[in-house]
């Protein structure tokens, strides 16, 4: 098992003289040589500038320095153990690693030291690096030194850390702690500790109904209230796949009913296998598009210069590749096809230079395999437990980010993500095939205007860095946030409450075949500042330009100058998207250069200035609006001609109503009627749909004489709900268990039981029309 862990850390089965391995191995060797050359053991530090002893006021910095010191030793150990690094087996490097371990374990990381600063450095990051370094040096590790490593880890990661599934021992942190315990057991040859680690993973595999972990709808939450698939979720999944590979075939194998349910694997063969969606299909895949993982599920990590959306995806895809190697069979073939498709459409692996050799090798094996690359699927996924949604159409994808009593506006912590204030204010991000794919990759977060994220409605009231408090503290007092979907199209809504101010609004989105209909109503604020709805804000790169047309006329503006186009019917940004305004709108256009630094959004970032150009389109509601509204269609990737044609076809998308009581649309061509009911009410000239309580409703009439009704209680407050559809219905063909009674005839009447425990999930009913 020690050899297997070394193999997982180092990778294998690749030509070390071929690219990209040769360059990465050489870079690893240079890093290790640099660390060795600058190492200067002394009391309170192992490297100059990385002191870990000092005053309480600097505790977090000191513990971070300890963690960095252990991380450097791990890098040196990897270079020592990795053939082709240029320093592989180097005696001086090996002695330096061992001396460094001895120094830290004698000076600070040993029984009797009281941890200070960030607990994570002592219980997860530090011991993981220490154990990896020790096992990578196993050919030179004496029993005495191995015992010292085990004693040091035991002092800070006792078995009791997994006694209860609570506090900091949940979700990704629980998996990390189990990894420490398992690898510690491997190093010390202690089976009971490995068994403890395996057993302690059980709560992670089980779906949760609140707080940290995987929810039944595929949502992943960490820190109780933050959607975190792209960061903590990726760490959790990576840890599980590594432990699964480490323990495979041993008496502590993770395989069992709980893991199979988690992964969606079955005992069956052929058509019986893989019919159940697992974590890869249900949770990960919806947020991966063309080789990137969406920023709206990555929390604080979006403020880290070294972790862009494509690199985070490469880490995640490498974990899926390892899972495929471990599990094998038909499931592996499906996962490899997904990974290969993402790799072919995404940023080349060679450009993710910080990706380690082992992960690079896993991805390259898939990229070079005979697997047929899977295409991006079309469809809609609604994640009610984390206030997120993803919409996929041929050629583009969009994702919606909201906040509620259940989900934080944003997370600030450890000085990170200081200006993520409005990432839950209806941020509508989108990407296309060959366009918009580097919108958030290319230094967006340090340079973009944080008050003008695409799709949001926000007050321009100035907010402080970390406004509202750290660790997901700020949450709006809003319950109605969510939607309903048939799996292809969707209705979604947000009872918006602005962070740090008085802004209130009702925002609705209707996700259709070639566009997203965006509505806003009841926009009210008393902050004494302008309120804006941002139609879009495109990152054009360092020197980029984009041709803008409004109603067919060029609307290019000088750099840095705002222009207002009154009575706009449609707008088009070449190479990006089209925008249609069902009612004439006063559209503001700004082409500007913005300069910022990573330190502006992350206390640990570089202060070097970065400049990017942006094209921003917005609707200005003015200072302190009362019951303002808006309506527009977003058409990603549309040509100017297609945008003009849609603006001319005014009846194609019919806005039935757009008020603070109900927002609804009808698209006869799609057989679709959808509504966000913020209160009991009716829609349609003939009272098409009526509800007795707030609800989200989407109806699809099909050409075969049937219809599908999708209904949800986003607020989770409906003790009872009656829906009436004024269409002749012959019979109900199928219905959700939440439907308590039905009545057919000239109109359909559905009576739902208590929906408060349905977690905002969509209830589906299929009927035969008369």
Q: Active-site positions?
A: 173, 223, 232
317-343: b (≥16 Cβ within 10 Å) or e: bbbbbbbbbbbeebbbbbbbbbbbbbb
Please name the residues in contact with 717: beta carbons below 8 A apart, sequence gap of 6 or more: 479, 693, 694, 756
In 602-667, alpha helices (H): 640-648
What CA–CA distances, in Å, run from 334 to 42, 277, 303, 328, 331?
53, 12, 33, 10, 5
Point out which residues pair with 696 in neighbouring strands: 676, 712
- Parallel, antiparallel, or unpaired: how do β-strands 396-401 and 388-393 relate? antiparallel
Residue 168: C-alpha distances to residues 68, 123, 233 (Å): 21, 10, 15
DSSP annotation of 377 reads: P
- DSSP characters over 452-502: --TT-EEE-----TTTT-STT----S---EEEEE-SSSEEEEEEEE-TTS-
| Cα dist from 764 to 203, 219, 363, 688, 768, whole Å | 30, 20, 39, 18, 14
Pairwise CA distance, residues 360 & 342, whole Å: 15
CB 46 within 8 A of CB 98: no
Cα 112 to Cα 58, 156, 162, 394, 590, distances in angstroms: 21, 10, 21, 60, 60
- What pairs with residue 576 in β-bridges? none
Cα separation, 449 vs 536, in Å, equals 12
Do residues 653 and 665 lie in contact, with contact meaning Cβ atoms separated by under 8 Å? yes
């Amino acid at each position: 098992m020690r050899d297997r862990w070394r193999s997982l850390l180092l990778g294998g089965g690749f030509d070390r003289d071929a690219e990209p391995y040769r360059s990465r191995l050489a870079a690893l060797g240079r890093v290790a040589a640099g660390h060795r050359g600058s190492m200067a053991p002394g009391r309170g530090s192992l490297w100059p500038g990385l002191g870990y002893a000092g005053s309480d006021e600097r505790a977090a910095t000191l513990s971070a320095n300890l963690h960095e010191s252990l991380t450097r030793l791990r890098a040196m150990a990897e270079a020592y153990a990795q053939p082709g690094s240029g320093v592989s087996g180097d005696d001086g490097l090996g002695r330096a690693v061992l001396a460094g371990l001895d120094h830290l374990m004698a000076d600070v990381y040993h029984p009797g030291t009281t941890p200070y600063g960030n607990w994570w450095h002592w219980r997860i990051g530090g011991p993981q690096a220490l154990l990896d370094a020790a096992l990578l040096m196993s050919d030179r590790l004496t029993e005495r030194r191995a015992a010292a490593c085990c004693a040091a880890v035991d002092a800070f990661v006792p078995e009791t850390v997994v006694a209860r599934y609570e506090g900091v021992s949940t979700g990704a942190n629980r998996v990390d702690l189990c990894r420490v315990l398992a690898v510690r057991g491997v190093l010390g040859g202690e089976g009971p500790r490995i068994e403890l680690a395996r057993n302690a993973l059980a709560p992670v595999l089980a779906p949760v109904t609140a707080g940290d972990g995987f929810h039944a709808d595929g949502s992943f939450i960490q820190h109780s209230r933050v959607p975190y698939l792209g960061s903590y979720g990726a760490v959790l999944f990576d840890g599980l796949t590594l432990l699964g590979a480490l323990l495979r075939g041993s008496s502590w194998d993770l395989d069992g009913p709980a893991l199979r349910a988690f992964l969606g694997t079955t005992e069956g063969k052929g058509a019986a296998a893989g019919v159940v969606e697992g974590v890869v299909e249900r949770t990960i895949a919806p947020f991966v598009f063309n080789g990137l993982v969406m920023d709206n599920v990555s929390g604080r990590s979006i403020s880290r210069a070294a972790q862009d959306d494509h690199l985070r995806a490469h880490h995640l895809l490498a974990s899926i590749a390892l899972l495929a190697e471990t599990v094998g069979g038909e499931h592996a073939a499906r996962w490899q096809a997904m990974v290969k498709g993402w790799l072919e459409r995404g940023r080349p692996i060679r450009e993710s230079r910080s990706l380690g050799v082992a992960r690079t090798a896993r991805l390259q094996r898939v990229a070079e395999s005979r697997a047929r690359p899977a295409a991006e699927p079309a469809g809609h996924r609604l994640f009610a437990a984390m206030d997120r949604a993803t919409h996929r159409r041929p050629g583009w994808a969009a994702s919606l980010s909201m906040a509620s009593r259940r989900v934080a506006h944003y997370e600030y912590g450890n000085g990170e993500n200081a200006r993520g204030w409005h990432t839950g204010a209806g941020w509508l991000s989108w990407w296309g095939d060959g366009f918009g794919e580097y919108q958030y990759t290319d230094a967006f977060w340090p340079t973009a205007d944080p008050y003008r994220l695409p799709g949001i409605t926000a007050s321009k009231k100035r907010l402080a860095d970390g406004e509202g408090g750290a660790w997901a503290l700020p949450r709006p007092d809003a319950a109605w946030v969510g939607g309903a979907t048939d799996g292809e199209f969707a209705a979604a809504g947000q009872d918006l409450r602005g962070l740090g101010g008085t802004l209130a609004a009702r925002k609705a989105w209707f996700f259709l075949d070639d566009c997203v209909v965006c509505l806003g109503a009841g926009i009210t604020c008393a902050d004494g500042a302008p309120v804006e709805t941002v139609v879009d804000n495109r990152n054009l790169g360092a020197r980029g330009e984009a041709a803008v047309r409004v109603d067919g006329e060029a609307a290019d503006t000088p750099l840095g100058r705002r222009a207002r186009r009154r009575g706009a019917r449609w707008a088009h940004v070449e190479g990006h998207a089209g925008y249609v305004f069902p009612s004439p709108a006063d559209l503001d256009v700004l082409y500007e250069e913005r300069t910022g630094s990573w330190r502006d959004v992350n206390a640990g970032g570089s202060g070097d200035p970065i400049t990017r150009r942006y094209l921003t389109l917005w609707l200005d509601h003015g200072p302190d609006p009362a019951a303002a509204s808006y309506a527009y269609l977003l058409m990603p990737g549309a040509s100017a001609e297609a945008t003009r044609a849609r603006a001319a076809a005014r009846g194609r998308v019919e806005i039935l109503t757009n008020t603070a009581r109900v927002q609804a649309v009808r698209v006869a061509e799609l057989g679709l009627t959808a509504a966000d009911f913020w209160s009991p009410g009716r829609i349609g000239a003939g009272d098409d749909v009526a509800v007795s309580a707030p609800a989200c409703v989407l109806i699809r009439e099909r050409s075969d004489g049937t219809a599908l009704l999708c209904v949800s209680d986003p607020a989770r407050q409906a003790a009872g709900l009656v829906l009436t559809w004024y269409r002749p219905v012959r019979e109900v063909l199928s219905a959700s268990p939440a439907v308590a009674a039905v009545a057919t005839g000239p109109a359909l009447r559905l009576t739902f039981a208590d929906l408060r425990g349905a977690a905002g999930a969509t209830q589906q009913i299929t009927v035969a029309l008369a």
